[in-house]
Structures are given as C-alpha cells and as structure tokens.
Amino acid sequence: MKLPGVAFHPVDSSLIPEDTKKLPRASRRLMDILLKGSTESLDKCSQSWSLDFRLSPKSFEGASGDSSRVSSTTFERTMLSSPFDHNAYASGTGEITQLPSSIVFRSIGYKSLALDGFSEMGVPFDERRGIIQNDGDGRVHREVRTPDGAMTYGNYPGLYCAGWVKRGPTGVIASTMTDAFDTADAIAQDWGSQAQFLREDTGTAMPSGWEGVKSEIGSASATIVQWKEWHKIDKAERERGRAAGKEREKFTDTADMLAVVG
C-alpha cells in the first residue's frame, strides 16, 4: 500500500462487513488496510494494482502473432451464497469479462480426502468441500439417530480437527495457526468441563486413543516426547540454524531428532 508511484484500486465494498469492529483482530486489521487503501492516488499514478474477487478463469488468450505468450485471461463472474460465511459456495453468473494478462500464476489449491474408516466410525465427510463435518470450533460431528429414527449430528467425544480439513483450503499460515489455536481451546474447554472423551462413550465402538497407538506399534518402541524434551529439540534446531546463518535448521530425520532427547 505504500509503494511510491503505485496506487491501489478500492475493493468491492460488498465483500467488506459493515461493522469491521466485530471481526477478530487479524481479520479486522486486514479489512482496515483494504479500506484505507494506498497512500498514492489513482489519478496521479501511471501504475496501479487491484484485488479482483469472484472471478472464475475460463481461458487464456495468446498474444497476436505469438500463441506461446499469454495476452489476456477470460473469466466468468461468480456470486457467493453468503459473502461472510466460511461455508459459502460460489456459482457462475454467466457474465464474462476479460483482463489483460502478460503473466499468469496458477494456484490449483488443495482438497482434503477422507481417511479409511470414517464411514465405519460414523464421521461425516463432505466430499465436495473436502472437510470433516464439525461445529466450527474443531469438534468433529458424528451421525446420531433420534428416537423417532431421524438422522442428526452430535459431537464425537474426543475427536477434533483443524486446518483445511476443518474449514476448507482457505487462508494462509497465520490463519491456519489461529484456527489450530481455536481447536486447542475447544479441547482444553472440553477437558476442563470433564466432557466425554475417547472410550468413555460406552455402548459404541470408539477408538482407543493413545493406548491404541501404543498397542499397534508396541509399547517397547513407543517414544513419547514431553514438553521439556521438545525444548531440547527446539534449542538444537536453533543452534544448527545459527551455524548455517539462519533462524533454524529443522531435523528431517526422526532418529536424529530423538537423539537430542537422549
């Protein structure tokens, strides 16, 4: 926003909430930056940039006389079912627009897949959106039949999700990190309120949690890294990084990492 001689085109106001003060801190700061705009004005700058949303690419047009070089991109405008809902979906409007494009970067995204056993456990997975059904705070849902035989959703005791499998492939590292904090808060809240966890829900075939993991890999070979031991790994990685002139050099081999713990 502060590039000298470069102006920013205002964003579509319909995509900005009327009251940004009600947003979480990170989202509020982002919205305020977009609303404030650049320090340069459009009428005084020969260069400008914009953020254009709700456009679905349809085709690339080659340059005149040189089809190996792109000259423009054709888009179909889309509309959101609900602009401020994370679960919103986009649909085409039939309106076509073309933008000059001398260079194009493709970002194909990512889609989570269901794990084997989800169906047997009764964990609903949305194949279209690539997410595990959850309450928004990371508590995984499961299918529950009511006394009258109808199917509904209830929380799956002790089962949680975070990141893109929780809310779809949106956001960057910071938003994914914040999302993980929200799920961790839900776990802590449930533990503090003595909510049911894995195996405590009698009458159903519940997973056995960490005890099940140990039984599968053999308790003799099971290695548990405690918090104080993680600090040793963290310290070692930072020391390795300083030797290489950077903040951290991560271990890429599990045996090397556990050797630090001893």
Mean pLDDT over 7-22 rounds to 90
Average the pLDDT over 220-240 and give the result. Answer: 88
The answer on pLDDT for 149 being more than 90 is no
Ramachandran angles phi, psi of 70, nearest 5°: -80, 145
* Positions of CATH 3.40.50.720 in the chain: 118-209
pLDDT higher at 147 or 43? 43
Tokens, residue 5:
């001689």
pLDDT band per the 50, 70, 90 thresholds, residue 260: very high
pTM given for the model: 0.54
* pLDDT at residue 117, as a whole number: 86
In this structure, the dihedral spanned by the alpha carbons of residues 36, 38, 39 and 43, taken in order and rounded to 10 degrees, is -120
| 97 or 223: which leads in pLDDT | 97
> Cα–Cα distances in Å, from 240 out to 216, 247, 252, 255?
34, 9, 12, 16
pLDDT exceeds cutoff 80 at 218 = no
Centre a 10 Å sphere on the Cβ of residue 157 and count the other Cβ atoms it contains.
18
Pairing mode, strands 139-145 and 125-126: unpaired
Residue 205 pLDDT: 58
Do residues 141 and 124 lie in contact, with contact meaning Cβ atoms separated by under 8 Å?
yes
Quickly name the fold that domain 118-209 has: Rossmann fold (3.40.50)
What is the model's pLDDT at position 169?
82
**What confidence tier does 97 reach under pLDDT thresholds 50, 70, 90?**
very high
pLDDT tier, 202 (very low <50, low <70, confident <90, very high otherwise): very low
- For 233-257, write each residue's pLDDT tens digit: 999 999 999 999 999 999 999 999 9
∠129-132-137 over CA atoms, to 5°? 110
